[in-house]
Structure 1
């Protein structure tokens, strides 16, 4: 019996429960559908499309090594899978379960048309399965983490199948080039190519490179100038490596891995949030802040553009935004600083920042992006209070970001550590670097005044 393997954000052969189940039943037709209709305004951003192109190419190569290949189709998932089943005589579809609201809708629609078998495997524990004593899902991370630990470690990762049976006749496939996922004019992806190797092999390389640094992660992850981050987030997002694989390898490394494992668990937590609140990417988790008056108009638009372009006059913010534009990724500590600056100092709606990150991040993930922005904005069900306003200048100095700023803001590369965090206050701001678009105290006071009006 020929079966269809429906791939989405699970582009790997190892620890891939849907692939293993399909391969045990007979010939398999692996298919990836470029579906921009189902997610609508949540279709992938430009950076994610760049990654997807290379990840699909790597997956197809791996499949061919196993005697298989990747079929590419474009359109609405339900219609494409129904047509493919009709063409090939396949009566069953295997997939890994996804939790974004549009994918849950798609799974229901496919399940009504075909025999759809959904498997777990993209998270440490199936979202919705870690519950309170009252049988309710957790809304707060800390008790969620405690409860999740009781179920860890996750199951031992499954090896890739040794050979994948092919159908007698392969269905037609789009060519990857036809999808035009890569930028051409202009080609803005040079920094992406230098930084990343999408695909399962690239994910394994990142993990092995990170293992010797696990013990230092608790401190190093907050230092932008240090290589303390794992940079596994885009590989995890596209499912090129399973969280179970990472957990077992990291847990066996030297040193205490808890700080890093809690970050992997945060990814699970974010999925649990969107399972409870499917519109979390557009609606405040705390309705009490729905009346907050965000700035709009010409001046706010200009400030948003300055933030996007890394021209705010705050070196740590500008370094982060330029790193994002150049590489499709940003250091986690700097993500919090840049997000806080947009929401609090500039009083611009967090949803505009989330949308920018959605387009620019190679690890743009609906759950993580939405939860992280709402945590920083103070609007989330579990979040920083709005009154906690990060001071970007002192954060920059506290976390020794001088080297990071020199790497991404070359106008300031000649400045000493004593001046680089705030060249304007030090009296040595270069002419080609902008003055602050708002003072820290002024921005803080404006944000707190806006909050008073809704309390």
Structure 2
């Protein structure tokens, strides 16, 4: 009987999975393979939050495959070596995997091709619109979102694929599924969501069945918590971005349109990184910055002790949930990169340490967008956390949720605790502001202007 390998990477699902479907079409039996790559684990990218979520995803994927007569085959070690070993053990003629955009993923694919040649089949299963499907004349990628989105919206998106009824698997050795503690040391965030395709679609169905209608109006309202929270499931491929786009468009309305626009942003960053992988760690548009070295301020920022309640609330949400509201990400990133004028890579690394949806393309290029070294058409804009608080947390509910020291302060006064009477301030275990917003914003603009 003929055998094919389905190498799971960023697509940990059975529903609408072109890689799995292609492998099943190519052979009588399929090896659904996941390799715990020792180099990735040692690199620091598999942090406690992502390790815990990944373990959930793998257990859920194995359960889904067993429900179809199969199982997940797990190996540890170098991906290419393990794929070749499985191919030798089973006589597999082809190996199928998802196209991905990071420098690591591109090197992995190139190594597989060097060893296995034309037996490697790569499929688009991660994006809605694959990198390179829409390009500006004479260039390899769009550098500005608006024209990209106009072209993106005109692309005919493939129809979602049904999950297979059966996944016949040949006799092949498998190591045990890794548990949450097997992939890395350390404890995950206390309110980390559970991973896996089953949980993902339960959340997605709840989102599509009503809350998405309010997304256009409430997506920036920090206290409302009215975003989908589906980003971790998209990052691990528990959800198909293609199927989610179709489902959202079927709902229709301003909320669905705004949500689909966010999926386009995800593709935008991925097409940019696919064409320029070094943007993960080098300035996409260098500004000649001479970043400040301020360890004490960086520690205060990480701990949510800057003295600016909205910044601190968002940073504490990140620590507690392994996730942060998108508006919070913009505010905290601007505070570090522009108000403190600290290298964006410092903040991007901290976010990757904690975010369960920590994606190299989205995380690094969003940080560059905020820092003004990326694809932002307003690179010198500074987000004032007090102005942001007036707009997006006007009653202070979000701050009181995450900064318990200030929970008893009523209304918008919670955003300026330093203006409270001394008798009240003295009872608060909360720091004074670590910087002056106006002075630091002026410093940043002088630095950017070359003065």
Q: Fold-level match, TM-score > 0.5?
A: yes
Aligned to 2:204: 207
Shift of 1:209: 1.5
Q: How big is the shift at 1:36?
A: 4.2
Q: Mean Cα displacement is larger for which, 247-256 or 329-338?
A: 247-256
Which position in structure 1 is the counterpart of 2:444? 447
CA contact (8 A) 1:38 1:106 kept: no
Which ranges of structure 2 fall in alignment gaps of 5 or more residues? none
1:249 corresponds in structure 2 to 247
How many positions carry a matched residue from both structures? 441
Aligned: 1:275 with 2:274: yes
Cα pair distance change 1:279/1:135, threshold 3 Å: closer
Residues 121 and 175 from structure 1, CA distance in 2 versus in 1: closer, same or farther, beyond 3 angstroms? closer
Give 1:104 shift: 1.0
For 2:46 and 2:178, the matched residues in 1 are separated by: 16
- Stretch moving more, 174-183 or 369-378: 174-183
Deviations along 1:169-204, whole A, 9 cap, x unmatched? 2213244139613656xx343211xxx231111111
Distance 2:41 2:183 in 1: 17
Are residues 1:127 and 2:126 paired? no
SS of 2:74's partner is strand
Partners of 2:45 and 2:353 within 8 A in 1 = no
Question: Could you say which residue in structure 1 is the equivalent of 2:384?
Answer: 391
Matches of 1:189 and 1:124, distance apart in 2: 30
Unaligned runs of 5+ in 1: none
How much does 1:418 deviate? 2.8
Give SS of 2:221's match. Answer: coil
2:163 counterpart residue number: 160
Aligned to 2:195: 198
- 1:67 touches 1:163 (CA, 8 Å); kept in 2? yes
Q: Which moved more, 1:315-324 or 1:68-77?
A: 68-77
Change in Cα spacing, 1:47 to 1:384, as seen in structure 2 (3 Å) is farther
Output the CA distance in 2 between the equivalents of 1:405 and 1:326: 14
Say yes or no: does 1:2 pair with 2:3: yes
- From 207, 219, 235, the equivalent of 2:217 is 219
Measure the CA separation in 1 of the matches of 2:271 and 2:69: 37
Deviation at 1:214, TM superposition (A): 1.9
What per-residue deviation string (whole Å, max 9, x for no partner) do you get for residues 199-222 of structure 1?
Answer: 111111121121212222122110
Deviation string, structure 1 residues 120-148 (Cα, Å, up to 9, x no partner): 12111111111124464211111000001
- Judge conservation of contact 2:51–2:180 (CA < 8 Å) in 1: no
Tell me the distance in 2 between the aligned counterparts of 1:313 and 1:384: 30
1:19 aligns with 2:20: yes
Q: Could you tell me how far apart the structure 2 residues matched to 1:112 and 1:179 are?
A: 34
- The answer to whether the 8 Å contact 1:38/1:76 transfers is no
Distance 1:363 1:251 in 2: 24
Listed one character per residue, the Cα deviations across residues 231-273 of structure 1 (whole Å, up to 9, x for unaligned) are 0101001000111111111111152221111100000000111
Deviation of 1:225 after TM superposition, in Å, equals 0.4
Distance 1:408 1:237 in 2: 25
Specify whether residues 395 and 59 from structure 1 end up closer, same or farther in structure 2 by C-alpha distance, changes over 3 A only.
Answer: same
| Structure 1 residue 403: Cα displacement | 1.3
Please name the residue that 1:99 is paired with.
101
